Amino acid sequence: MSRILILDDDPGIRRTLDILLRSDGHDTLLAASAEEAETLLERQCVDLALVDLQLPGRNGLEFIRRLRDRHRDVEVVIITAHGSIESAVEAMKEGSSDYLTKPFTPEQVRHRIRQLAKLRGLRTEVEELRGRLGVETTSDEPVTASPGMKHLLEVARTAAASEASVLLTGESGTGKGLLARYIHAASGRSKGPFVVLDGAGFNEHLLDSDLFGHRKGAFTGAVADKPGKIELAAGGTLFLDEVGEVPLPLQAKILRLVEDRSYERVGDPAPRMVDARLIAATNRDLEELIQDKAFRADLYYRLSVVELRVPALRHRREDFPVLLAHFLARANTRHGRKVTELEPEVEAAFENYAWPGNVRELAHVLEAAVLLCPGQTLRLDHLPPRFQAVEQSRPAEVQTLAALEEDHLRRTLAQGLSQEETARHLGIDPSTLWRKRKKYGL
């Protein structure tokens, strides 16, 4: 059983939760304010905290931030009213695991606690196995050295522990698909399927059939019943990529799926239920699409309970060394090569290139270059022509002021003028010229 902190300024809710949790065998700590809760936590540790956002004095969100700074292993479930869902989402970004909307039932509370207890147990097993095997990271974890990306992965892990819908945004090629797989692997559904559907890959009718399935005879060519991707994702995760490209009529059906977990096959009016987590991704600005009447606002709010924006590669330059090493090693393994070094001109070209295709483009460029490289050193002529153009047009190296001054003095002294004439041309005193010549050994 667990030790659980109940932080709520409503004495009725505190007492109700206390009775419920103690009857299930849990130990409880009760607090009416953030300050009182922090005092209790100085003396006792807890496994889980149920936190109301609306508190006297310091609010629940501020309490969660301080709690996560000091007690990273404590799971947090937000208690919130219907009108403050946005605050609950903000709290999840700070490290909360889930939220309960008032009024809630005893079974809803028990369900959340069982889920989190199961997740803690799985994490403990994974850590023990990693310790035995000497494994530090999983292959599903994105490679990064960027503080911003590391924070994003922490938020993603928190979101993975809940059933909340997740919306991944960012430019094409930033790694949204990899992040979706990471969330799935870190969730309680990790043993279930991970099914991908590309919203940009089909017209409206084909996308409808591919997502929800169809009944035999529903349209020309439907020679047999066909389950949709949503059925195939039962017990796991459905990743709806490029959701911004989904036609408006189909958006209404996806909204029903997200809200009620129900859908209908094409040509079959019988409603079906499904148990699948939904993660969506887009490189479009959905709020702009909403303004243009091309995307439903209610669907956007349902999909973006947790919204994570993956930064472009040009905004995470500290990741270049680890990504280069990772993709080089992968390409070497795939193709039996031994490329271990990059020519300085290659490094300069990579540094000055804008990377519009982001991480995906970097991976593809390195794989192609490794195939063309016969030795151990990657050269500029192994790269596509666009990188050679970047190298030739890269800006001149920036010099320090001291280097510029020394260079100017050398060129002026080379004219063979007297000390006084040189000083006059430079606009300084002869004594100042003497000191500068001594400084630079001229």
Cβ atoms of 378 and 370 closer than 8 Å: yes
* CATH no. of 3-129: 3.40.50.2300
pTM above 0.75, yes or no: no
**pLDDT band, residue 232 (cuts 50/70/90):** very high
Cβ atoms of 365 and 383 closer than 8 Å: yes
Query: pLDDT higher for 180 or 214?
Result: 180
- Residue 13 to residue 53: CA distance in whole angstroms: 13
- Residue 418 to residue 213: CA distance in whole angstroms: 91
Residue ranges of the domains in the chain? 3-129, 147-311, 316-393, 401-440
pLDDT at 20: 93
CA distances in angstroms from 214 to 145, 277, 278, 414, listed in the order given: 45, 21, 20, 86
- Residue 353 to residue 233: CA distance in whole angstroms: 39
Q: Is the pLDDT of residue 140 over 60?
A: no
Cβ atoms of 13 and 79 closer than 8 Å: yes
Bridge partners of 3, per DSSP, are 27
Q: Is the pLDDT of residue 41 over 60?
A: yes
CA distances in angstroms from 27 to 5, 24, 112, listed in the order given: 9, 9, 16
Tokens of 334: 């795939």
**Structural domain 316-393, CATH architecture:** Orthogonal Bundle (1.10)
pLDDT in tens, 68-108: 667 767 888 888 775 556 666 666 656 677 788 888 889 98
Residues in the chain: 442
With a pLDDT cut of 90, the percent of the chain lying above it is: 39
Mean pLDDT score of the chain, rounded to an integer? 84
- Residue 303 to residue 290: CA distance in whole angstroms: 14
pLDDT in tens, 356-381: 999 999 999 999 999 988 778 898 98
The per-residue DSSP string of 213-282 comes to EE-TTSSTT--S-EE-HHHHTTTSEEEEETGGGS-HHHHHHHHHHHHHSEE--BT--S-EE---EEEEEE
* CATH no. of 147-311: 3.40.50.300
Task: Please indicate whether the domains covering 147-311 and 316-393 agree at the CATH topology level.
Answer: no
Q: Say how many Å lie between the first and final Cα of the chain, rounded.
A: 80
Q: Is the pLDDT of residue 139 over 70?
A: no
The per-residue DSSP string of 184-211 comes to HHTSTTTTS-EEEEETTSS-HHHHHHHH
- Residue 80 to residue 102: CA distance in whole angstroms: 6
